[in-house]
Structure 1
């Protein structure tokens, strides 16, 4: 029997929370993007440009951000930090990767598209947890301070 997205055990086996699975399924069922719509809470994720249109994700210089991480002493001089950098390096998606994806055989295109959406949803969940962790660091008196995201480097349930 195929697990449903709202079944916690099915969501867990996919590496996402039951709430995320339910939310993505509802959005896709409505014909919307599987990613959540940005809110007005000052969310720092690069989703919209100044004019309210979606920001081109290719404009973010990920190599520069990764090099900055590599130079940070807290990352550079800890085994977890170095593992994080190695983990991120193999998961970078470059614009050239789009060409490879577009050469997917037609009979597998829907499957690859679904995988891309699930990867995006998982990354979005990780990003939200990291942002919450960053906000907790900025406001240490609030609940959840110091809570890190599940699936830290070495977790094979993610991508």
Structure 2
């Protein structure tokens, strides 16, 4: 199983007896949120099915939906089944809670990462970071503190499913040896044998021809910056995300970014929005616009010949949001 890969048939929704399901081994240490359960009781639209580990009938995702159904007096609930192992079921539970619903706390995500490192030691730091909503650097630090990492000198599986050595220097040295001993081998054959990418194999070959070291020298930045890889959740992103940019080029203060993230988090926890298509569309727009975009990288990536058109469209988008805000204000006044 790899993070983000659906290991169950989402379309196979069936009705299960609520009495046959049980709750255990949740990644959420704080337990169930009674206010959220009560909010779900009041939702009038059908809620998404609960995800259940078929071998044990344990609820992987949807405990709050299950409790709401029990409070309503329902005897059955819609479920989809997962047939994988217990360890993979835990990963899926973490992924589900990171991707939607009430977000896991930072402490819960770190504990989950430690458990996944133990049960899936062959997964790369970036792969585990995708599942837990942490940065790869945080996962790497947890791995150093976690017992049971037997592959530190071996290889790991990346997000693309490829196996790569943990120590890239060893892969480059092996590739160099193969090239010298077997000059007729193709780059793809060398890459496969040394567990590196074909492009890395090409670089090794070129360095050999030029008489250079096989390992490139590390780049030194004049002004080191924090790790740029943004994690999946707004809470962690608040800590390391580069400042947003205003129309006059000045950095927006971190307090304003934190306020935006908190507001989006509150909206995400509202079932009236999360469980309707229009609500989810609105949340996606807010998440990307306010918390999910590395705007400076996007701005820098616009080709010079497109900048005028992009600037014009950006102002048009700002006008659209202004009109939306005006309409919302008008409705609020009319409903008083």
TM-score range, shorter chain: 0.3 to 0.5
Q: Which structure has greater strand proportion?
A: 2
Rg: which structure is higher? 2
Higher relative contact order (CA 8 A, sep 6+): 1
Q: TM-score, normalised by structure 2?
A: 0.22
Q: TM-score, normalised by structure 1?
A: 0.42
